[in-house]
Chain A
Amino acid sequence: MRKSEPGSASRHTRVGERLIGALLFASGALSIVATVGIVVVLLTESLGFFAEVSPVEFLAGTRWSPDLVPRSFGILPLVNGTFLVAAGAALIALPVGLATAIYLSEFASIRTKRTVKPALEILAGIPTVVYGYFAVILVTPVLRTLFPGVGVFNAASAAIVVGIMILPMVSSLSEDALSAVPGSLREAAYGVGATRFEVATRIVVPAGLPGIAASFILAISRAIAETIVVTLAAGATPGMTLDLLQSVQTMTAYIVQVSLGDAPSGSIEYRTLFAVGLLLFLITLALNLLSQRMTTRFRESFR
């Protein structure tokens, strides 16, 4: 047995460790400080906006016209556009993503799973601008051929492409949730004579449901926050329509539009950026927290 001597070497280590600890703390603090800073800016600039426009008008108004007289600051058209695209994307990504996850977790051979899952995760790493381009040059023309009268900008094209974009996220995270269901539950179900399909649909999916729901919410949150695809494909027409073939504008696309334009700093139009950004932030924050809570609850139930 060797005792460590209180010599210079160990003192040196202690100083080094303290330095490393401080550096790591600083790295952690950086992201927190940045987040807090962003929230503070969002809040203060939004306060300036809400000094001129009442929150009720902002949240309940159904006409969004911040630059053209008569001005109107009802954000519902932008919220509508955002949720229309997100809902359309969810309609594609959630069922297909869940089906993929069930296949990978319960039916695919180990080799298939080892090939397909990393491929899906690579798909998730494609820059979103590529997806946006894909929407404009491929999906929109196809839609325009199938449905005459569809405009160059329409919600459907954006919804389809955003759906494809969030699909790997749904399938990968749902697959994680299904794989986390203990094998002993599968054995129990097989043990009473269940078929593979029955085990998957009646035992594994219900047991993994909180994790699946968390992946759904996270994916919807990502669809809501998606910017470039909707800017390129969905257009810039704030409206209360539920028609996917119409052009709409999402909150994110509006932010891009104003950021690129020449809204003078300090003007009301400039301040709408922060009010819209704040609402967008609150929506995605709420969704992410909800998703996190579901994942935690899921882990607890299988301690």
Chain B
Amino acid sequence: MAPEAVLETVGLGVRYGETRVIEDISLTIPKRRVVAFIGPSGCGKSTLLRCFNRMNDLVPTARVTGQVLFRGRDLYAPGVEPADVRRAIGMVFQKPNPFPKSIFENIAFGLRINGFQDDIGDRVEASLRAAALWDEVNHRLDADALGLSAGQQQRLCIARALAVEPEVLLMDEPASALDPIATGRMEDLIGELRGDYTIVIVTHNMQQAARISDDTAFLYMGELVEYKETQRLFTNPEDERTEAYITGRRG
């Protein structure tokens, strides 16, 4: 039983200037699974995540080598538009970053630039419902998004990403700026999205990875150390570096 791979990296490496951040990473992200990347700070997990939607392109000194295949197509091949990649592979960032616009416009922005013209209102509602935010904001869609709480802002960012109907959702420590209650809601939301989307989530919180993911990859100093089903990784790590990290002896 080999699940269909949505994303696949082949010998992927990233340098920032002279600094190697990740090296020779080959892994596959199966369809409709939640995959967590864990590892100590600076291990390259966010950099790896940002290869999947070409976000590293925005760093002038970043150099990507190897391949990233999305449904078999190399995302870094000449002629591939980063904007198209990012529409299909959405992203939620570490800190909530809503636009300084109304709640409605935050979501409508992505719809409009991607050519959605009809029933924008319906799509905004559907995305807010999918991000479990509709009930809290439906009476004030015209309000400034910056007036929402941090947890609400982050769910708005998820709604914004979902609105353009991506296949994959990348999440870069989406709960790190949230309080425990908001974090809990965020995890519940990921649980609801599970099965509908392929989700790749970076987290520095191992318990969170254990709670929400199907598979977990442990990265250490730019290297992929171990990658398997979450439960097996946490109960039966093969590599001693993995074991040291998950038992708290290192990291």
Contacts and interface: CB of A to CB of B under 8 A. Distances in A.
Interface in B40-91: 53, 55, 58, 60, 82-84, 86-87, 90-91
Interface stretch (A17-25, A141-149, A190-198): A190-198
Given A191-B161, A301-B146, 15 more contacts: A182-B97, A185-B100, A187-B55, A188-B93, A189-B109, A191-B53, A191-B55, A191-B93, A192-B114, A192-B160, A193-B83, A193-B84, A195-B113, A202-B109, A207-B99
Nearest to B97: A184
B110 A192 contact: yes
A110 interface: yes
A188 B58 contact: no
10 contacts: A110-B60, A190-B58, A191-B53, A191-B90, A193-B86, A194-B83, A195-B83, A202-B113, A206-B101, A301-B100
B95 interface: yes
Q: Is the interface of A mostly helix, strand, loop or mixed?
A: helix
A185 B106 CA distance: 11
B164 interface: yes
B157 interface: yes
Given A109-B60, A186-B58, A202-B113, A192 B100 contact: no
Given A189-B99, A193-B113, A301-B100, A184 B83 contact: no
A244 interface: no
B98 interface: yes
B28 to A, nearest CB: 23
Contact of B58 (A109, A187, A203, A207): A187
Contacts of B86: 190-193
A185 B86 CA distance: 15
A230 to B, nearest CB: 39
**Ranked 8 nearest A-B pairs via Cβ:** A193-B87, A192-B110, A184-B97, A191-B91, A188-B97, A193-B86, A193-B83, A195-B83
A110 B110 CA distance: 28
Interface string A77-111: 00000000000000000000000000000000110
Interface residues of B, number: 28
B245 to A, nearest CB: 28
Contacts of A109: 60
A27 B110 CA distance: 54
Interface string B123-153: 0000000000000000000000010000000
A186 B91 CA distance: 13
A1 B83 CA distance: 59
A109 B60 CA distance: 8
Given A190-B58, A192-B90, A192-B164, A184 B113 contact: no
Interface string A178-221: 00001011111111111100100011001100000000000000
Nearest to A183: B58
A203 B99 contact: yes
B87 A192 contact: yes
B113 A192 contact: yes
A31 B239 CA distance: 70
Contacts of A203: 99, 109
Nearest to A194: B113
Nearest to B100: A207
Contacts of B157: 188
B152 to A, nearest CB: 16
A44 B128 CA distance: 64
B106 to A, nearest CB: 9
A301 B100 CA distance: 8
Contacts of B82: 190
Contacts of B83: 190, 193-195
A211 to B, nearest CB: 13
Contacts of A206: 100-101
Contacts of A198: 113
A192 B97 contact: no
Contacts of B90: 191-192
Contacts of A207: 99-100
A194 B58 CA distance: 13
Contacts of B109: 189, 192, 194, 202-203
A10 to B, nearest CB: 43
Interface string A284-303: 00000000000000000100
